[in-house]
């Protein structure tokens, strides 16, 4: 959303970027950006075109990287948050092996922030509000949080969920946020948002709620039908798609961005670029 930053990334002038966008808009027959007032925004046509073009470039990059003899066959060490590694990344690793059978991966699932500059990993998937300024990389996607439970829990419940207050008849499952962000998408923030819509929702601190240190344990408890938790639509996306878990209420909270990052001029740069392109492609 910045012609100037795009120009810096490509090593050309902002005028050259603007000229190319004008050509693209002429070919499409309609504007792709709203230029006034700032900040820059995509039009509805631009929003439809963007994911297709992004996927196309990612496919080009992945294919070229796969064909490049410069890629080494050393083990590529990838670190990511525990829950993301377990629920999102690991189930998709067969797709990596299909494309890059000669580049083994070492997955380091940890909620600690490993030091890439000290060589603790080659590439990291960071879960944060903003792109880390001291590293190279790109945002791959952002998530959203909403109440999630097993369908069996709802089937057993005596209270059907029609409004936010109805969730208080069920055990609420919590887990720790390691970054201590006061704006994290927790139950307390969700309930505060719900009360701003429906002030009749009572204050609560139920003794029968469950609390876990690890997000993975909270997800396991939800899948076992022990309660309802605020979960990421990215982390439990497969379970939601299969019906193992269901959305308990439509009110949602914004999460964070998933960024794939690395140090500049890394000796395994071709393999890193291949993994980064593949990661964005398998979404």
Q: Do 60 and 117 sit in the same domain of this protein?
A: no
Q: Do 161 and 240 sit in the same domain of this protein?
A: yes
Residue 61 pLDDT: 67
Q: Which two tokens stand for residue 100?
A: 């890059």
Whether pLDDT at 71 is above 60 = no
Whether pLDDT at 73 is above 70 = no
Distance CA 57, CA 44 (A): 21
Which region holds residue 159: left if phi is over 0, alpha if psi is between -120 and 50, else beta?
Answer: beta
Q: Do 58 and 77 sit in the same domain of this protein?
A: no
- 157 closest CA partner among 228, 103, 87: 228
Residue 72 pLDDT: 55
Sequence-distant contacts of 156-163: CB under 8 A, at least 24 apart: 156/225, 161/248, 161/249, 163/198
Residue 132 pLDDT: 87
Q: Do 128 and 263 sit in the same domain of this protein?
A: yes
CB 234 within 8 A of CB 185: no
Q: Do 119 and 186 sit in the same domain of this protein?
A: no
- Helix 44-67 crosses helix 269-281 at what angle (to 10 degrees)? 140
Q: Do 133 and 156 sit in the same domain of this protein?
A: no
Pairing label, strands 41-42, 33-34: antiparallel
Please, what is the average pLDDT of the chain? 89
Query: Domain ends where: 65, 86, 110?
Result: 65
Q: Between these two residues, 160 and 190, which has the higher pLDDT value? A: 190
| 125-145 pLDDT, tens digit each | 999 998 888 899 989 999 999
CATH number, domain of 9, equals: 1.10.10.10
Q: Do 203 and 235 sit in the same domain of this protein?
A: yes
Whether pLDDT at 230 is above 80 = yes
CATH number, domain of 114, equals: 3.40.190.10
Q: Which two tokens stand for residue 133?
A: 């300024």
Distance CA 228, CA 161 (A): 12
Q: Which two tokens stand for residue 2?
A: 């910045």
Q: Do 222 and 152 sit in the same domain of this protein?
A: yes
Query: Domain ends where: 65, 90, 105?
Result: 65
Residue 159 pLDDT: 80
Q: Do 157 and 87 sit in the same domain of this protein?
A: no
Q: Do 106 and 75 sit in the same domain of this protein?
A: yes
Residue 67 pLDDT: 63
pTM of this structure: 0.73
Whether pLDDT at 157 is above 70 = yes
Q: Do 59 and 91 sit in the same domain of this protein?
A: no
| 246-278 pLDDT, tens digit each | 999 999 999 999 999 999 888 888 889 899 989
| 213-229 pLDDT, tens digit each | 999 999 999 999 999 99
Q: Do 17 and 95 sit in the same domain of this protein?
A: no
Query: Domain ends where: 33, 65, 97?
Result: 65
Q: Which two tokens stand for residue 69?
A: 């003899």
Residue range(s) defining the domain that contains residue 56: 3-65
Distance CA 50, CA 41 (A): 12
| 4-39 pLDDT, tens digit each | 888 887 888 989 888 899 999 999 999 999 887 677
Peptide bond into 93 cis (omega under 30): no
Residue 182 pLDDT: 82
Residue 189 pLDDT: 94
Asked which of 36-45, 59-68, 80-89, 108-117 is least confident by mean pLDDT, the reply is: 59-68
In the chain, how many domains are there? Answer: 3
């Amino acid at each position: 959303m910045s012609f100037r930053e795009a120009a810096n990334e490509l090593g050309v002038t902002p005028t050259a970027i603007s000229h190319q966008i004008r050509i693209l808009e002429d070919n499409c027959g309609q504007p792709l950006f709203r230029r006034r007032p700032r900040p820059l925004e995509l039009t509805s046509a631009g929003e439809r075109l963007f994911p297709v073009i992004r996927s196309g470039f990612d496919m080009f990059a992945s294919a070229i990287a796969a064909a490049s003899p410069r890629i080494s066959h050393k083990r590529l060490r990838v670190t990511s948050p525990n829950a993301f590694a377990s629920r999102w990344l690991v189930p998709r690793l067969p797709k990596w092996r299909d494309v890059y059978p000669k580049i083994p991966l070492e997955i380091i699932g940890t909620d600690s922030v490993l030091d890439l500059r000290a060589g603790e990993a080659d590439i990291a998937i960071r879960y944060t509000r903003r792109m880390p300024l001291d590293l190279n990389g790109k945002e791959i996607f952002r998530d959203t949080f909403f109440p999630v439970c097993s369908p069996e829990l709802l089937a057993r419940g005596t209270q059907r969920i029609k409004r936010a207050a109805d969730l208080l008849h069920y055990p609420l499952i919590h887990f720790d946020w390691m970054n201590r962000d006061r704006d994290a998408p927790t139950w307390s923030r969700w309930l505060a948002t719900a009360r701003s819509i429906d002030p009749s929702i009572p204050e609560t601190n139920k003794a029968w709620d469950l609390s876990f240190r690890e997000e993975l344990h909270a997800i396991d408890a939800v899948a076992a039908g022990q309660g309802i938790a605020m979960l990421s639509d990215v982390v439990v996306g497969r379970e939601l798609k299969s019906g193992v878990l269901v959305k308990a209420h439509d009110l949602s909270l914004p999460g964070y961005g998933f960024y794939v990052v690395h140090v500049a001029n890394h000796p395994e740069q071709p393999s890193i670029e291949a993994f980064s392109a593949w990661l964005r492609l398998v979404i």
